[in-house]
Structure 1
Amino acid sequence: MNLLTTLKVNVGKFPTKPFLIYQDKTYTYEDTYQKIKQVSSLFSKLGLKKGDTVAAMCFNTPAFVFTMFASWELGLIFVPINHKLKSKALEFILEDSKTKLLLFDAQLIETINELNYQSLRISTEGVVSEYDCFEDLYNENNTDFHPQDLEYNDIAQILYTSGTTGMPKGCIMHHDSITFAATMAALGLSFVPSDIFLMAMPIWHSSPLNNWFGATLIVGGTIVLQREYHPLQLLENIQKEKVTTYFGAPISLIMPTKVPSFKQYDLSSMRAWIYGGGPISPTTAKDLMELYQNNNFYQVFGMTEAGPLGMTLYPKEQLAKAGSLGKTSMPGVEMKLINEDGQIAKKGEVAEIYFKTPSLMAGYLHKEIETKEAFTEDGFYKTGDLVKIDEDGYLFIVDRKKDMIITGGENVFSKEVEDCLLECKAISEVAVIGLPHEEWGETVTAFIILKEGKEVNENDLREHISTKLARFKAPKKYFFVKDFPRTPTGKTQKFMLKQQYQNISL
């Protein structure tokens, strides 16, 4: 069974049950499938055929959902696109995926008008000149189309990574992969039909889409679509719709607590606060539990290439092992921890995480060499994440393998140095990289963004570091900058820093 079939089964089981809630509009399971059939008819009339690619560059709106399922009805490949992308990255994705139809939010018209890539284009959530409006088009359609039979290994999605090491890579996801990711997420966090999930994080991200949208669909739950994240709206939606489950980055849990009227909102319906994208400290974990008056916090760890599936840190572990990824893998995921000698790692060692699961991508689109490099011969995906195994077997991230610095034969984990520098209250952000050095191979170099109105100099930082880290780990050079090169999702592109500063004399 795939996710499209799951939806159809749910129409039979829960025809009048709300499936999507968007602003003041509610779509039951039956309503939703009716819209999907209308969109399928539209796509068929536009000449789209099995194997063609449809891309959606949207906020969290019903149009995104209707388009995804309608694409699968016709055997099309669906490409969710980050709505924050600029035209250059968007152009690359459209060309790389050979997109035939692009659905875009009317708010993004300036970016769309900068494109050279030629494809069908339809706007949603507003009328813009030169383009047909999605809602007008499908509402005029009947439901005549010829549905395609889906095989388990047909391509369902191409998910593009954030591009921290260059242009985004397209992860090829089969229908069986994304269905497995949704099913295991539902199993791992005990989703039930009465769950109401708040989609406030961008739906085009792999975890909100394939884990939590999918998990809610699998059990026949309800999804509240919040067009885009805002802490006040999050509180309002939870109270109004009696939301039970939510997923977001740690900052999305912290920001609502800063809303002046935070304590006035009734959040008692919540049974699971799920966060990912980075661990939180023991202090933050304790503060969140007290502020939300709820101990049911789950940290999840995974990556797009894995479906995403990976690991979970459960509520009872949040305080004792705050900052950890967890101890064991999620249901349906096999994990190996491999040390630098290529052997199974022991407690106290640093190891790279390997995952093997049916939710793994089939490979990177048009990138055979990168695909081969990403997998072991026995089918494990090499995540590139390096972890330290503590005495109880819990894993703590120490660095990305590609970010590890080798200076004078010694390994330096950039995250360790970054964490140490961030103890300085004047620093807002820091990025540590290795720059080429004739004698040492690489030299540890730190890039610093100061908090507004704060000052600190290189000597202050050297003194701070000297009491915390071994000498070979201490940055030999500091650069104070206003910002870092970033992906559209805000991740620091360290490779760009290396390119920009590689010829600097150190």
Structure 2
Amino acid sequence: MHLSAMLDSVVRSAGRKEALVYRDRRWSYGEFGAAVRRTATVLREAGLEPGDRLAVMTYNTPAFLFAAFGAWLAGATLVPVNHKLRAAEVEHQLRHCGARLALVDQEIGERATGAAVGTRWLVSHPDAAVSEPPAGSFEALIAAAAEWEGEPGADSDIAQILYTSGTSGRPKGCVHTHRGIALTATYTAATLPLRRDERFLVCMPIWHASPLNNWAMGTLLLGGTVVLQREYEPRVMLETVQRERITAVFGAPIALIAPVQAVPDFEAYDLSSVRSWIYGAGPMDADTVRRLMKAYRSENFHQVYGMSEMGPVGASLSPGEQVEKAGSIGRGGMVGVDLRIVTQDGTDATAGRTGEIWLRSDTRMVGYLDDEKATEEAFVGGWYRSGDLGRVDEDGFVTVVDRLKDMIITGGENVASLEVEGVLRGHPDILDVAVVGRPHDQWGETVVAVVVPRGDAGPSLDELREWLEPRLARYKIPRELVLRAELPRTPSGKVTKHVLRSGPTG
């Protein structure tokens, strides 16, 4: 189904129901649908033609969703842009996708408009007074526009170009159709499952694949309510959950851990309305899960696994499996997804063996934008090669061992960086950690631990090695230790290990 047709259907069935909440502002489905049609008029009058690309660089604000659905109704393609990018990075992305028109939040406009491209910029003022939006602002243009009378296009039309997190280098653009995104939302809603009375808090950046396609789209598909938190902040998340009676929250593990650690009066907040605490972009060990369940007074934790190339869809770990199968991504694929673990000889891995995770679903991207070689390398027939190494246990559950590119080979031995990181996280003086390989003229590579200490000073290398001695084989124990104030991460929470490898002492 075309995403505009999906919205039209929900507007007809749930017109008076609350669709969108941003701070103290609220839109029913009828109001949201009308705003989208006025937005389509604004975009067409600004020069956006069917098949063009609209770049959107905003915080989690209503303008993002108005622009997305407005672009789709106008026959154009949405290109979400990371609001943290600098001008040169924005320029690369806009040139790569060929965006003719773009939308940016006023607060970050200078960074965006400084990009030396021939793109026309519309500017959003999301927090201006509703009654008097600044003249010429995106909101003022929408308020004054007539509703677009056009009809949705075909579900095979291109809906999005999603740029990857760039954990291994420069991001690539994943090209997705309307049908693929609609199925992503459908499979997600069926897997969790989401409900028609859902009040979903989107506090992770909405321009990222999962907050947008899994959670915002999945909630809107059912006629639930999307509550936007402008930007993630632990206390604001708790306040919003309590005030809006939120039923589901998604974030990277740190987004659920941080409130417990950083908000002194955490226990004072009423979080009882939440049915689903959802995390992705990395696993959590059993001890961490237990601590969070106790703190949040809930056992309803879900883990999801997927990637932008697949919509994202992949696998999920349900609440009853969180402790017993901690660290696993689940058993097989989620609804609508096939999952295989393929060994080097091309056979499916049996219990105890490791192989690459392959995924197959109708949600898969058309390909990488203008990169035929990378597209060919990513697929084998209908299967997407994730680049993640997974190990299968005796019950069929899969644990991500490492990224293929993150496996460290030292003295002929393979060291899974995720395994070493998992052990190191149990050290009482370590807050965060990443393990990478550094080239070594004798060993090929040597193991380096990049550590964020819990206090003012972390452990010394000798202390760390002594602590690890009974816990890891000697060849897996780091030979170098680097202390950092924080680890470089993508907006989805993944550590950018290529940054650490290029200069881990930085």
* Interval of TM-score (by shorter of Structure 1 and Structure 2): over 0.9
Measure the CA separation in 2 of the matches of 1:417 and 1:394.
20
Pairing of 1:421-500 with structure 2 (within 5 A): 421-481=424-484, 486-487=489-490, 491-500=494-503
Q: CA deviation at 1:92?
A: 1.2
SS in 1 for 2:329: coil
Measure the CA separation in 1 of the matches of 2:458 and 2:46.
59
Cα distance change, pair 216–449 in 1 and its aligned pair in 2 (3 A): closer
Cα distance change, pair 472–239 in 1 and its aligned pair in 2 (3 A): closer
Structure 2 equivalent of residue 93 of structure 1 = 93
Structure 2 equivalent of residue 304 of structure 1 = 308
Kept in 1: contact 2:252–2:492 (CA 8 A):
no
Measure the CA separation in 2 of the matches of 1:127 and 1:254.
29
Kept in 2: contact 1:156–1:174 (CA 8 A):
yes
Measure the CA separation in 1 of the matches of 2:485 and 2:168.
21
Structure 2 equivalent of residue 105 of structure 1 = 105
Out of 322, 330, 336, the position equivalent to 1:332 is 336
Could you report, residue by residue, the CA deviation over 1:460-505 in whole angstroms, capped at 9, with x for unpaired residues? Answer: 2333333332233233444445555554666433323434479xxx
Q: CA deviation at 1:447?
A: 3.4
Pairing of 1:134-283 with structure 2 (within 5 A): 134-144=138-148, 147=150, 149-258=152-261, 259-283=263-287
Structure 2 equivalent of residue 70 of structure 1 = 70
Q: Which has the larger displacement, 246-255 or 329-338?
A: 246-255
Measure the CA separation in 1 of the matches of 2:10 and 2:479.
60
Structure 1 equivalent of residue 346 of structure 2 = 342
Cα distance change, pair 257–48 in 1 and its aligned pair in 2 (3 A): same
Aligned-partner residue type, residue 392 of structure 2: I
Q: CA deviation at 1:6?
A: 1.3
Measure the CA separation in 2 of the matches of 1:234 and 1:438.
48
Aligned-partner residue type, residue 101 of structure 2: L
Pairing of 1:40-55 with structure 2 (within 5 A): 40-55=40-55
Measure the CA separation in 2 of the matches of 1:489 and 1:315.
22
SS in 2 for 1:325: strand
SS in 2 for 1:171: strand
Kept in 1: contact 2:489–2:495 (CA 8 A):
yes
Q: CA deviation at 1:431?
A: 3.1
Could you report, residue by residue, the CA deviation over 1:243-291 in whole angstroms, capped at 9, with x for unpaired residues? Answer: 2222112222233335344333332322222111222222222222223
Kept in 2: contact 1:3–1:218 (CA 8 A):
no
Q: Which has the larger displacement, 429-438 or 389-398?
A: 429-438
Pairing of 1:393-408 with structure 2 (within 5 A): 393-408=396-411
Aligned-partner residue type, residue 365 of structure 1: L
Measure the CA separation in 2 of the matches of 1:413 and 1:367.
30
Q: CA deviation at 1:436?
A: 2.9
Could you report, residue by residue, the CA deviation over 1:59-115 in whole angstroms, capped at 9, with x for unpaired residues? Answer: 111111110011011110101111112222211111111111111111113312432
Q: CA deviation at 1:204?
A: 1.1
Kept in 2: contact 1:51–1:77 (CA 8 A):
yes
Pairing of 1:1-20 with structure 2 (within 5 A): 1-20=1-20
Measure the CA separation in 1 of the matches of 2:465 and 2:165.
33
Measure the CA separation in 2 of the matches of 1:487 and 1:193.
32
Q: Which has the larger displacement, 183-192 or 420-429?
A: 420-429
Kept in 2: contact 1:122–1:131 (CA 8 A):
no
Kept in 1: contact 2:201–2:248 (CA 8 A):
yes
Measure the CA separation in 2 of the matches of 1:498 and 1:253.
28
Measure the CA separation in 1 of the matches of 2:489 and 2:257.
23
Q: CA deviation at 1:119?
A: 0.8
Cα distance change, pair 287–395 in 1 and its aligned pair in 2 (3 A): same
Specify every segment of 5 or more residues in structure 1 that has no aligned partner in the other structure, as ranges: none
Question: How many pairs were matched up?
Answer: 499
Q: CA deviation at 1:52?
A: 0.5
Could you report, residue by residue, the CA deviation over 1:383-431 in whole angstroms, capped at 9, with x for unpaired residues? Answer: 1111222222222221111111223332111222233334433334433
Cα distance change, pair 431–275 in 1 and its aligned pair in 2 (3 A): closer
Structure 1 equivalent of residue 131 of structure 2 = none
Q: Which has the larger displacement, 309-318 or 334-343?
A: 334-343
Measure the CA separation in 2 of the matches of 1:452 and 1:248.
25
Structure 2 equivalent of residue 357 of structure 1 = 361
Aligned-partner residue type, residue 83 of structure 2: H
Cα distance change, pair 265–493 in 1 and its aligned pair in 2 (3 A): closer
Structure 2 equivalent of residue 319 of structure 1 = 323
Aligned-partner residue type, residue 362 of structure 2: P
Q: Which has the larger displacement, 254-263 or 33-42?
A: 254-263
| Residue 84 in structure 1 maps to residue 84 in structure 2 | yes
Kept in 2: contact 1:60–1:203 (CA 8 A):
yes
Could you report, residue by residue, the CA deviation over 1:443-472 in whole angstroms, capped at 9, with x for unpaired residues? Answer: 333334444421433322333333332233
Cα distance change, pair 241–453 in 1 and its aligned pair in 2 (3 A): closer
Cα distance change, pair 435–289 in 1 and its aligned pair in 2 (3 A): closer
Aligned-partner residue type, residue 398 of structure 1: V
Measure the CA separation in 2 of the matches of 1:290 and 1:164.
33
Kept in 2: contact 1:89–1:167 (CA 8 A):
no
SS in 2 for 1:467: coil
Cα distance change, pair 302–251 in 1 and its aligned pair in 2 (3 A): same
RMSD of equivalent CA atoms? 2.3
Q: CA deviation at 1:127?
A: 9.6
Aligned-partner residue type, residue 204 of structure 1: W
Could you report, residue by residue, the CA deviation over 1:29-65 in whole angstroms, capped at 9, with x for unpaired residues? Answer: 1111111111111111112111111011111111111
Structure 2 equivalent of residue 56 of structure 1 = 56
Aligned-partner residue type, residue 176 of structure 2: M
SS in 2 for 1:384: strand
Out of 383, 386, 400, the position equivalent to 2:386 is 383
Aligned-partner residue type, residue 260 of structure 2: T
Kept in 2: contact 1:54–1:100 (CA 8 A):
yes
Cα distance change, pair 179–390 in 1 and its aligned pair in 2 (3 A): same
Q: CA deviation at 1:124?
A: 0.7
Q: Which has the larger displacement, 452-461 or 52-61?
A: 452-461
Specify every segment of 5 or more residues in structure 2 that has no aligned partner in the other structure, as ranges: 129-133
Q: CA deviation at 1:142?
A: 1.4
Aligned-partner residue type, residue 96 of structure 1: H
